[in-house]
Chains A and B, each alone.
Chain A
């Protein structure tokens, strides 16, 4: 049975909204771009760049589909008046992009509602099935949480049978609500996004899982000093993906897979997570060992065993009240010398 991640990447499992949740420690951008590159050839691809420069993102999207760029990167707060999509100093290899022409619109993230209108207009103008890719929903969420959800809802209403949304969400970046006091009473944007997504892929670093396993094996937890990012962060060769996929039938498939790359720029292959992280200690075997407890009287410095005579004597002792254990429940009363035994019923004079 192929791993679910592989089926999703190949397009065998339909999913209108794929959400890739990542963190500083392991970016989900590489996986997201791979998912995007596997879009059907009749799709129009819309790249909403909020965190990466468009000229850096565009060459990484392989495929000959028609592409459109929504540039929210170059002028996020509208501080610059006349803006054209800027290059980040590295040569933008426009020649590498195949003969598809790319429309670019530049937006600010000051007003997400205006941005929503612009994006939906762009989608409608494409007049075809589309895949829209958000390289970071977090930049939208930091502006306004409800407006971002409205943006996603507006796009969902335009989805056709095969069209889909692929979005990267950084779960460690605070959203607009977190900056306000009493933010704990509001629903977490992360959780709400997970609700509306049909596929949720949480990307974690393989090293983190390896260390968890080591701890489990040793039975201890290694103390970790605080840091925002470790030296093992963002390894290019592999990452672990926890996939939760909701099918149209209502069934949910939950699996932990991993992906592996041979070279930094090479192809992504989906593998079993144990191939990347190493074998997990067999939990069932460990439980069985514990339940088959060995003789507790084995390794003591004193002798707890009984000799034959002692055993016979033990079996022959008559325990007090043994007779009462076998009786029906009737009360046997044997008055002492001091007791005043009276056969009359003390309740006789009651007139109830």
Chain B
């Protein structure tokens, strides 16, 4: 279980997982980080022995591993088992990392006829047919998990999409059989792509393509985007948040309290109905009270997050 007090508020049809083929969008602010929600889902999916593909654009694997440990999941074991895939989208996303390339994980030259990888006796390397630039581990198989795949710089976001597409199809293909595992693709976070210079329209298109891709493999998409009021004046930031809200099936908005900071309540968490939800409701695809629109308060503890109704903080009662 991730956070027990959050569980009752999430859609219950596939609990503790999310319904496949849907898109959950988390928005947060500088004052209230929405990261804690991602850890909840990572923990739930891994404990349920399903697949997680985590694209760390704003965080490194060590961070997720440490938080995972507090929540009772061992990400290293999950990686060896093949349940958990981490994609490093932080270290080499922009070409600013180029001068320091020798200090970073080596992305091997990924021409289709890559001789370096085929030379090593590794029975399980899947040959990449596309020219997507993904770092392939020099040593394959064996008990130590391969270093995470790295997303390297490309001026066009379509290359990033292709790299992710390959990883996802790879992961999904490993679990064939009677019980197709559910997959969750987590992007942490989208605002990084905007800040690195890709245009808002491309980032929104990436979200659309990933949503469609993930739905084909019985999966769910979860993204995190920053939605501060101060950023709303900037057209691309504003456009990104609104675009993501229009695409999403479920929206969770994490915000600071209106009245300021507090020791017992760290912020508010709103489950919102976006335009997508209204349409699904009209089509009758939504069960009653599956996702009521409400605002809750939360408090982050050392190895748990308490979510409670407004006014019911344990500091008050």
Question: A24-B245, A179-B199 are known contacts. Are A231 and B283 too (CB-CB below 8 A)?
Answer: no
A179–B239 CB distance below 8 A: yes
Q: Which of A6-14, A170-178, A187-195, A320-328 contacts B (4 or more CB under 8 A)?
A: A170-178
* Residue from A136, A178, A231 with most neighbouring chain B CB atoms (10 Å): A231
CB of B279 within 8 A of chain A?
Answer: yes
Q: Is the interface of A mostly helix, strand, loop or mixed?
A: loop
**What separation, in Å, do the CA atoms of A87 and B218 have in the docked complex?**
12
Tell whether, in the assembled complex, residue A170 and residue B281 are in contact, meaning their CB atoms are under 8 Å apart.
Answer: no
Residues on the A chain within 8 Å of B274, using CB: 24, 27, 229, 233-234
Q: Which residues of A contact B286 (CB under 8 A)?
A: 264
- Say yes or no: B279 contacts A29, CB within 8 Å: yes
Total residues of chain B contacting the partner, CB 8 A = 56
Contact assessment for A27 and B238 in the assembled complex, using a CB-CB cutoff below 8 Å: no
A-B contacts at CB below 8 angstroms, number: 132
A226 x B232 contact (CB < 8 A): yes
CB-nearest residue of chain A to B292: A231
Known: A51-B246, A60-B282. A231 touches B241 (CB 8 A): no
* A304 located at the interface, meaning its Cβ lies under 8 Å from any Cβ of chain B in the complex: no
Given contacts A51-B246, A56-B283, A264-B282, is CB(A226)–CB(B229) below 8 Å? yes
Query: Which chain A residues numbered 219 to 247 have a C-beta less than 8 Å away from chain B?
Result: 225-236
Contact B208 A76 (CB under 8 A): yes
Contact mask A19-62 → B, CB, 8 Å, 1/0? 00010100101100100000000000000000110001001100
B218 to chain A, nearest CB (A): 7
What mask results when residues 270 to 298 of chain B are scored 1 for a CB within 8 Å of chain A, else 0?
11111111111111111000000111000
Q: Is A86 in contact with B242, judged by CB distance below 8 angstroms?
A: no
- The answer to the question of B110 belonging to the interface, with a C-beta cut-off of 8 Å to chain A, is no
In the complex, chain A residues whose CB is within 8 Å of the CB of B205: 76-77, 79
Chain B hits for A60, CB < 8 A: 279, 282-283
Contact A24 B246 (CB under 8 A): yes
Chain A: interface size category:
35 or more
A5 nearest CB across to chain B (Å): 18
Q: Closest residue to A168 on the B side, CB-wise?
A: B275
Q: Does A30 contact B278, Cβ atoms closer than 8 Å? A: yes
- CA separation between A267 and B242, bound complex, in Å? 29
Task: Please indicate the chain B residues that have their CB under 8 angstroms from the CB of A235 in the complex.
Answer: 273
Contact yes or no, A33 B282, CB < 8 A: yes
The reply to whether A77 and B251 contact each other, CB–CB distance below 8 Å, is: no
**Residue from B227, B229, B274 whose CB has the most chain A CB atoms within 10 Å:** B274
Interface centre among A51, A74, A80, A89 (most CB of B within 10 A): A89
Q: Given the complex, which residues of B lie within 8 Å of A156, measured CB to CB?
A: none
Q: Which B residues lie within 8 Å of A185 (CB)? A: none
B255 to A227, Cβ gap below 8 A?
yes
Is the C-beta of B74 less than 8 angstroms from some C-beta in chain A?
no
User: Are A228 and B242 neighbours in the complex by a CB distance under 8 Å?
Assistant: yes
Contacts of B282 in A (CB 8 A): 29-30, 33, 60, 236, 264-265
B80 interfacial by beta-carbon distance below 8 Å: no
Taking CB atoms and an 8 Å cut-off, the chain B residues in 233-251 that contact chain A are 235-236, 238-239, 241-243, 245-247, 251
Q: Known contacts A76-B208, A86-B215, A264-B282: does B253 contact A229 (CB below 8 Å)? A: yes
Residue on B with the closest CB to A135?
Answer: B279
A120 and B224 CA atoms in complex are apart in Å by: 39
User: B235–A178 contact, CB under 8 A?
Assistant: yes
Residue of A nearest to B23 (CB): A88
Minimum CB–CB distance from A233 to chain B (whole Å) comes to 6
A173, B236: Cα distance in complex, Å: 10
Contact across chains for A88 and B21 when beta carbons are under 8 A apart:
yes
- Residues of A within 8 Å of B283, CB to CB, are 56, 59-60, 265
What's the Cα separation between A33 and B279 when bound, in Å? 10
Near A by CB (< 8 A), chain B positions 84-124 give none
Report, nearest first, the 3 A-B pairs whose CB atoms are least far apart.
A89-B21, A226-B229, A27-B275
Known: A76-B208, A79-B205, A231-B295. 5 other contacts (CB 8 A): A88-B21, A173-B239, A173-B246, A174-B238, A265-B283
Chain A contacts to B: CB under 8 angstroms = 22, 24, 27, 29-30, 33, 51-52, 56, 59-60, 73-74, 76-77, 79-80, 86-90, 136, 142-143, 170, 172-174, 178-179, 183, 225-236, 264-265
